[in-house]
Amino acid sequence: KEKNVLLTKMYDAEAISAKDIFDQIQTVVEELSHYRTTDVGLIVAAKLKQGRRVLFEGAQGTLLDIQHGTYPFVTSSSTLSGSAATSVGIGPHLLQKIVGVFKAYCTRVGSGPFPTELHDDVGAKIQKDGHEFGSTTGRARRCGWLDLVALKHAIRLNGITSLAMMKIDVLTGHDQIGICTSYKLNGEIIHDFPTATDLVSKVEPVIEYLPGWKEDLTQIKTLKDLPRKAMDYINFVSAQVGCPIDIISVGPDREQTLWVKPVFND
């Protein structure tokens, strides 16, 4: 009853019924009944003991984490790397390499603080060139410059050992490219991401601009063929956050990936 009051009065949504939820769950139960259930943690632990390599993939960004994200604009679970261990059922010490995947610019879906958001033609160009629209709903994603304060925050929370920069090809065609290197809050420069969401909403991004490039990156096959200005951008980000960028994506296909270092090899 309490939830229905919130749904109908605060969010102008339809009330839910226990029977409808039960019926939905029952449908899933029938579909899953054909499969054997087992303790995945035991299987994974056994493979790791044999010296096998296991790759875990997470979803959603660090700032959507239920505990460390910009609450209440978060998801319902933990999105941090440590949740891979707790979700599967193995010890966190077994997570030896943690690759942080991030875009060469920032995006956000829906509400929530976004210090580097661009409300001009530059933001619109990034949105268009990056096809930043929800695949199911078509909902436009908010776009902005890369936020290194938030990225360093994510590196610390996840224990990231190397980075994978996605969609750098989207930044082609800009005369200059902005990067947020710090925040200004109440007239003071800060370098750490605020823990309180209301403070994140109040910060002003301190932007440094790097020269842009005009070359199409989508056809590049080797690292040495990247334009100098694109490489300068990559090196600047890596130096600022203190973490190597070992994977660079220059297009939507898997083949459009440049490996600075073979991350998954021992």
Tell me the per-residue pLDDT of 207-224, one tens digit each, with 9 for 90 and over.
999 999 999 999 999 999
Instruction: Report pLDDT for 11.
Output: 82
Instruction: Report pLDDT for 204.
Output: 98
Residue 140 DSSP symbol: B
CB atoms within 10 A of CB 35: 7
Residue 10 DSSP symbol: I
Please choose, from the candidates 115, 102, 107, 104, the residue with its C-alpha nearest in 3D space to the C-alpha of residue 132. Answer: 107
Give the model's confidence band at 266: pLDDT under 50 very low, under 70 low, under 90 confident, else very high: low
Instruction: Report pLDDT for 214.
Output: 97
59 or 128, which is more confident?
A: 128
Cβ partners under 8 Å of residue 147, min gap 6: 106, 115, 116, 180, 205
Contact 180, 147 (CB under 8 A): yes
Q: List the domain boundaries for the chain.
A: 97-259
Q: What is the mean pLDDT of residues 233-259?
A: 97
Instruction: Report pLDDT for 47.
Output: 97
Q: Which two tokens stand for residue 66?
A: 């239920």
Q: What is the mean pLDDT of residues 216-244?
A: 97
222 or 265, which is more confident?
A: 222
Q: Taking 80 as the threshold, does the pLDDT of residue 123 lie above it?
A: yes
Please choose, from the candidates 72, 90, 103, the residue with its C-alpha nearest in 3D space to the C-alpha of residue 6. Answer: 72
Question: What's the fold here for domain 97-259?
Answer: Adenylosuccinate Synthetase; Chain A, domain 3 (3.90.170)
Give percent above pLDDT 70 in the chain. Answer: 100
Please choose, from the candidates 103, 249, 259, the residue with its C-alpha nearest in 3D space to the C-alpha of residue 179. Answer: 103
Instruction: Report pLDDT for 33.
Output: 87
HSE-CB at 239 with a 13 A cutoff on CA atoms is 7
Which of 17-21, 44-48, 184-188, 213-217 is least confident?
Answer: 17-21
Tell me the per-residue pLDDT of 188-198, one tens digit each, with 9 for 90 and over.
999 999 999 99
Does residue 17 come out as left (phi exceeding 0), alpha (psi in the -120 to 50 range) or beta? beta
Please choose, from the candidates 180, 187, 199, 196, the residue with its C-alpha nearest in 3D space to the C-alpha of residue 241. Answer: 180
Which of 14-18, 126-130, 203-207, 248-252 is least confident?
Answer: 14-18
**CA-to-CA separations, 212 to 179, 244, 256, in angstroms, rounded:** 12, 21, 20
Give the model's confidence band at 259: pLDDT under 50 very low, under 70 low, under 90 confident, else very high: very high
Please tell me the distance from the alpha carbon of residue 59 to that of residue 88, in angstroms, as a whole number.
14
Average per-residue pLDDT in the chain?
Answer: 94
* Adjacent-strand bridge partners of 144: 106, 117
Instruction: Report pLDDT for 126.
Output: 98
Give the model's confidence band at 36: pLDDT under 50 very low, under 70 low, under 90 confident, else very high: confident
